[in-house]
């Protein structure tokens, strides 16, 4: 499956991608904000990828202008849909690129998949992610020892997306 918009393409994770993704995930820059900060072996990565074949979870490699830069996903458990993403390419992190990525992804989740609520977990020390998710309309719902949990309801998505869309359209003019 492929989702496209702006100069961003989200392509379903395949077996050929998992070593690249494992290297990203084991990097200090990405690992420091992950809930599981353990080193991931090649065998663990392969087992994880195989386990995805039996789940509704979906992972996409993020491409900006045909260059792989990160990973975005959703995990479905009962009525809860947990999302997450990271951008390995640090040159894209403090730009409009994250908004482009999430705009495409949220459109897919809310309109194509018809999910009503999304959640995410953010480590306490990841203030950039907290600010970003609040700007997307997420609301803090629970505080745990290592992270906070946030939720995005469809109505809040619509309000935030209208503002974000204007910003992204203005950039493309």
pLDDT at 118: 96
| CA atoms 59, 5, 8, 154: torsion sign | negative
Give the residue carrying structure tokens 């629970």.
142
At residue 4, does pLDDT exceed 80?
yes
Global pTM value: 0.91
pLDDT at 171: 67
What are phi and psi for residue 75, nearest 5 degrees? -120, 125
Average pLDDT, the chain: 92
Residue 64's Cβ-count burial label (10 Å; 0-12, 13-18, 19+) is: buried
Superfamily of domain 2-172: Gcn5-related N-acetyltransferase (GNAT) (3.40.630.30)
């Amino acid at each position: 499956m492929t989702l496209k918009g702006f100069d961003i393409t989200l392509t379903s994770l395949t077996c050929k991608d998992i070593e690249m993704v494992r290297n990203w995930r084991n990097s200090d820059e990405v690992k420091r904000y992950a809930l599981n900060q353990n080193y991931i072996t090649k065998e663990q990565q392969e087992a994880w990828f195989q386990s995805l074949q039996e789940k509704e979870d979906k992972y996409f490699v993020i491409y900006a202008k045909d260059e792989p830069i990160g990973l975005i996903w959703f995990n479905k458990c009962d009525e809860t849909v947990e999302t997450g993403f990271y951008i390995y390419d640090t040159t894209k992190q403090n730009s409009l690129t994250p908004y482009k990525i999430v705009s495409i992804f949220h459109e897919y989740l809310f309109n194509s998949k018809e999910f009503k609520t999304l959640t995410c977990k953010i480590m306490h020390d990841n203030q950039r992610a907290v600010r970003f998710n609040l700007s997307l309309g997420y609301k803090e719902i629970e505080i745990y020892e290592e992270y906070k949990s946030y939720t995005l309801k469809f109505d809040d998505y619509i309000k935030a997306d209208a503002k974000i869309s204007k910003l992204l359209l203005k950039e493309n003019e």
